[in-house]
């Protein structure tokens, strides 16, 4: 139906739908004009975009991340398309070739879109006239065998001035990976999967056009996904677990102008059906007992917004964004366990919200207002959410943004954000998964347990407080930028799964553990919990460097170049207080944080791109420092040593339309082939105890099941 509608509306267009968790506000900037009077920090030309060798906008945003990193946080940039907030369907549908240029805007622009002032903004300016049918097929597999996956997608795209139409269809199939494929020597390793078998099919479309000066859009999508896994044997009978899910969404948006203000109205409806079946044991007749769960999630949202200059000060206008929203959520579940009656539950939630964002100029060099200070502005955000069963939750943030001199940018921001647990975290049905492998630091042994996951109706709201201070220098030599930010995070009642099992974790949640008389762990209840507090301090600093290869083809254009990005995250503090009366866990000094050990002191991220005349190569590498983890018992630490780990991914591509030897051929138009290798050196972390032995829970196959994976992708734009 969407395809037919798109074909009927020759000058139709398409726009974004709001995200489920955080509805979006749309502000429009006419083509070629600044947004809110704020000029871009930099612009990226089409030839420069070609050098990344990516297929769609989603991949392009990730490729641009080192360049668009904010000095205030490590969050992804806010993404606009022709001044509109972008939806996920537009990410998937729009090909790179549809983009005319990209504007990188400062963090203060995010306020105009209802976001906090700790994210930069990317504005993708599309070509005025463009029609194409991008297609792509890919295949991947591990060099050790297994982990095969095939994927295909095709889309129809039509751009005509501000009108847009797109339809996308995609399919992906991934085979499961068994423990036996990675040499894990267990009696039932052939019937236990490290990675499930997955299938995913999606159909989505968007249509948008301008009606009487009002931008109107609609988006709809349907997705069906299934995951199947093997959970070992019971009396020589394989235990199968499956989890199909279907998701449907429809959204609409209206945007218009009212004097110097921009108003917006968005609405969406989301429906998600989820099911699971887990074979947990076998009875005397040889029949498997099956635990079944069903859940249905429905959400509707209406949001109104108004953005623009609220008042004028000597240093400039106060740019503000006001939002009002109404939200409905319904979550119903059914649980059916052998030998027990059918259990049903239903939770209905309503949310009324209002928020105000403002950027208040204090000093302005160009306006001669306190020119000795350069450019200085204050930012403010306040939000009130009235959540049924949780009452009124107030969040706020405030900060300063300072450019004392050209190419020097300082900022500071403090946020206090209160959120209620989601309906899924409260009421998700319990799922029992047998034979889950984990390391029990209490017994210093690998355990195979029945793990229970699901919701917890006793969860409390979370209070997340963050103070961040940032510095940015540049851009120099084109687009070379140095940035650093220091962040303190204090979270009360953090919602999460249980930390790795230590004596203190079991002391705090004794009801969550079931052990045999000899101390062997049999069952772990890993449903969501509130942790008393989490405290982290970290410093992230680095640079993104551009260097041209040869003279530019045109002024301010450097398609042939080398781009290098290097960032170091230095963790200064990372502690967790599980409950009052239990010692604090120091993740930097002996407490385990995850399957890869404790929290490393340093994490270094390196990225390098080389591009010349249609041929490109990209390498991404990560290094994390070693850690030592103990049981938590000072009298018997039973230390486990986790080595440092360096991994690298590589990708090379050939864009035949731009290679001198092939660009004259008709078949080369829109043709690209890419070859990628994940974990090029097939590195896995080395783990051993005091005796030099590696516990089976830390076998290489568990730490990184696929290992080295190679993938080839062929793309053609018709």
Domains in the chain and their CATH numbers? 11-717 (2.40.170.20)
The whole-number pLDDT of residue 20 equals 34
Residues in the chain: 718
Query: CA 81, 85, 90 angle in degrees (round to 5)?
Result: 60
Q: What distance lies between CA 669 and its chain's CA centroid? A: 33
Contact 220, 250 (CB under 8 A): yes
- pLDDT of amino acid 637: 60
Dihedral angle computed from the Cα positions of residues 82, 86, 88 and 90, in that order, rounded to the nearest 10 degrees: -10
Which residues of the chain, if any, have pLDDT below 50? 1-33
Distance of alpha carbon 189 from alpha carbon 205, whole angstroms: 43
Q: What local confidence, expressed as pLDDT, does residue 556 receive?
A: 53
**Please, which residues bridge with residue 364 across strands?**
369
H/E element holding 383? strand 375-387
Closest by Cα among 377, 402, 381 to 314: 377
pLDDT of residue 217: 86
Residues of 395-420 as b/e, b for ≥16 C-beta within 10 angstroms? bbbbbebbbeeeeebbbbbebebbbb
Residue 347 makes CB contacts below 8 A (sequence gap 6+) with 329, 330, 331, 332, 423, 426, 427
Closest C-alpha among 713, 705, 623, 646 to residue 676? 713
Q: Alpha-carbon distance 552 to 340, whole Å?
A: 73
């Amino acid at each position: 139906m969407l395809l037919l509608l798109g074909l009927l509306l020759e000058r139709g267009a398409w726009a974004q739908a709001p995200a489920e968790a955080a509805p979006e506000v749309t502000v429009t900037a006419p083509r070629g004009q600044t947004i809110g009077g704020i000029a871009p920090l930099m612009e990226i030309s089409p030839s420069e975009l070609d050098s990344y060798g990516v297929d769609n906008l989603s991949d392009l945003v990730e490729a641009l991340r080192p360049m668009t990193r904010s000095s205030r946080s490590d969050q992804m940039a806010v993404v606009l398309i022709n001044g509109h907030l972008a939806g996920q369907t537009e990410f998937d549908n729009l090909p790179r070739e549809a983009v005319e240029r990209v504007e990188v805007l400062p963090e203060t622009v995010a306020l105009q879109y209802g976001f906090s002032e700790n994210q930069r903004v990317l504005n993708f300016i599309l070509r005025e006239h463009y029609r194409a049918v991008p297609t792509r097929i890919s295949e991947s597999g591990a060099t050790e065998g297994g982990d095969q996956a095939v994927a295909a997608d095709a889309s129809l795209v039509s751009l005509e001035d501000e009108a847009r139409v797109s339809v996308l269809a995609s399919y992906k199939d991934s085979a499961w990976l068994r423990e036996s494929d990675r040499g894990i020597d267990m009696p039932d390793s052939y019937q236990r999967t490290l990675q499930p078998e997955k299938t995913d099919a999606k159909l989505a479309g968007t249509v948008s056009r301008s009606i009487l000066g009002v931008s109107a859009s609609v988006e709809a999508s349907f997705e069906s996904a299934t995951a199947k896994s093997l959970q070992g044997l019971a009396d020589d009978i394989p235990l199968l677990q499956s989890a199909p899910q279907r998701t449907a969404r429809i959204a609409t948006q209206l945007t218009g102008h009212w004097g110097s203000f921009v108003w917006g109205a968005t609405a969406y409806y989301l429906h998600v059906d989820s099911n699971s079946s887990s074979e947990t044991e076998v009875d005397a007749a040889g029949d498997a007992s099956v635990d079944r769960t069903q859940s249905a999630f429905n959400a509707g949202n209406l949001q109104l917004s108004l953005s623009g200059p609220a008042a004028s000060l000597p240093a400039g206008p106060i740019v503000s964004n006001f939002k009002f929203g109404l939200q409905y959520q319904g979550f119903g579940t059914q649980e059916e366990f052998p030998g027990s009656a059918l259990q049903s539950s239903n939770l209905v939630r309503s949310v009324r919200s209002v928020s105000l964002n403002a950027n208040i100029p204090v000093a302005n060099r160009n306006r001669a207002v306190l020119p000795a200070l350069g450019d200085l502005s204050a930012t403010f955000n306040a939000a009130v959410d009235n959540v049924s069963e949780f009452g009124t939750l107030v969040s706020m943030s405030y900060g300063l943004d300072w450019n004392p001199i050209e190419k020097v940018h300082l900022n500071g921001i403090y946020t206090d954000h209160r959120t209620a647990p989601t309906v899924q975290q409260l009421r998700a049905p319990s799922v029992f998964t047998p034979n889950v492998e984990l390391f029990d630091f209490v017994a210093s042994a690998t355990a195979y347990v029945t793990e229970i996951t699901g919701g917890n109706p006793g969860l409390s709201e979370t209070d997340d407080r963050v103070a961040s201070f940032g510095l940015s220098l540049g851009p120099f030599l084109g687009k070379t930028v140095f940035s650093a930010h220091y962040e303190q995070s204090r979270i009360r009642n953090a919602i999460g799964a249980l930390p790795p099992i230590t004596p203190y974790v079991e002391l705090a949640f004794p009801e969550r553990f079931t052990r045999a008389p000899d101390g062997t762990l049999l069952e772990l209840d890993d449903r969501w919990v509130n942790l008393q507090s989490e405290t982290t301090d970290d410093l992230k600093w680095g640079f993104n460097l551009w260097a041209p290869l040869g003279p530019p083809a045109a002024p301010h254009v450097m398609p042939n170049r080398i781009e290098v990005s290097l960032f170091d995250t230095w963790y200064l503090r990372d502690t967790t207080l599980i409950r009052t009366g239990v010692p604090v866990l120091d993740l930097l000094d002996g407490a385990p944080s995850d399957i890869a050990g404790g929290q490393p002191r340093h994490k270094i991220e390196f990225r390098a791109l080389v591009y010349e005349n249609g041929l490109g190569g990209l390498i991404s590498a990560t290094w994390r420092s070693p850690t030592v983890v103990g049981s938590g018992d000072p009298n018997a630490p039973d230390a486990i040593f986790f080595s440092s780990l360096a991994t690298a991914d590589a990708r090379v591509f050939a864009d035949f339309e731009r290679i001198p030897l092939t660009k004259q051929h008709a078949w080369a138009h829109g043709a690209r082939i890419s070859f990628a290798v994940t974990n090029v050196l097939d590195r896995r972390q080395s783990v051993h105890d005091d005796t030099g032995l590696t516990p089976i829970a830390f076998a290489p196959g568990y730490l990184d099941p696929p290992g080295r994976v190679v993938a080839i992708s062929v793309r053609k734009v018709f």
